[in-house]
Amino acid sequence: MRLTRFGTPGAEKPAILDSDGRRRDLTGIVSDVTGAALSPGSLRRLAEVDPAGLPAVPESERWAPCVGGIGKMICIGLNYADHAEESGMEVPPEPVVFFKATSAICGPYDEVEIPRGSTKTDWEVELGVVIGTRAKYVTPEAAMDHVAGYCIVNDVSERDFQLQRAGQWVKGKSHDTFGPLGPWLLTADQVTDPQDLAMSLSVDGHRYQNGSTRTMVYRVDHLISYLSGFMTLEPGDVISTGTPPGVGAGQKPPVFLRPGQVMELSVEGLGTQRQKTVAA
């Protein structure tokens, strides 16, 4: 089942994709695709709905972030050994955890802003894990029972703000539009193995990232268990699990985004994002 949202910022509505990939309006069945709609019981009820019987969403409607009301956007750094190598950093002995401000979240086809004063805005295609049931002190064996589904995240980053401006990474991760999410949430029952998904990212047609979730250092089950020992994961929270090699900072010489460029990124089974960059 593929769930999504549509409409202008602040007025988004829930939708489901039919067998032809067309959006169908879920208004009246659920209020929104938020944590409350992602519980196992709610997902079972939604799975019984025939999308063909629902109103079609006009093609002109904006694709909104596929999950709304996100309480926490938790990100994992250096979670691919080959990406750590290109960054000149050691593979961490434990997951590197940081947050992205929820105000950075935007739709999968929204414009991405290059911040004022930016010299090193970069891209990162990532697998997003969406929590469906409350998780606190869960074991790795039970961790996957708490997953509602998966989506694409573009963890857009300003490397100078992130690494040279002192303090925590969140400063380089949280500019408005630095968290495109979607186009849809694919429910966990439709993903055979989240550790075997191809992923890619291109800028202006040039392929920079071409990886797979197979090369994650810390797998999804470990991340959920690990994080749940430090904080309670609530329904609707999103974990962005790290990026494979090919980021702009890892190029020789480094390549960074400028206004007027187009990013296209995909994760197997989760669709494709496309964003044009603009000056803030």
Question: Is it the case that residue 153 has pLDDT exceeding 80?
Answer: yes
Question: Is it the case that residue 82 has pLDDT exceeding 90?
Answer: no
Residue type, position 107, single letter? G
91 φ, ψ (degrees, to nearest 5): -65, 125
Structural domains in the chain plus CATH codes:
69-279 (3.90.850.10)
Give per-residue pLDDT as tens, 177-209: 999 999 999 999 999 999 999 999 999 999 999
| 3-state helix/strand/coil string of the chain | CEEEEECCCCCCEEEEECCCCCEEECECCECCCCHHHHCHHHHHHHHCCCHHHCCECCCCCCECCCCCCCCCEEEEECCEHHHHHHCCCCCCCCCEEEECCHHHEECCCCCEEECCCCCCEECCEEEEEEECCCECCCCHHHHHHHEEEEEEEECCEEHHHHHHCCCCCHHHHCCCCCEEECCCEEEHHHCCCCCCCEEEEEECCEEEEEEEHHHECCCHHHHHHHHHCCCCECCCCEEECCCCCCCHHHCCCCCCCCCCCEEEEEECCCCEEEEEEEEC
The span from the CA of 148 to the CA of 227, in Å, is 16
The span from the CA of 236 to the CA of 71, in Å, is 7
Mean pLDDT of 258-265: 98
Is residue 90 very low, low, confident or very high in pLDDT (cuts 50, 70, 90)? confident
Mean pLDDT of 15-24: 97
Mean pLDDT of 154-174: 94
Question: Is it the case that residue 89 has pLDDT exceeding 90?
Answer: no
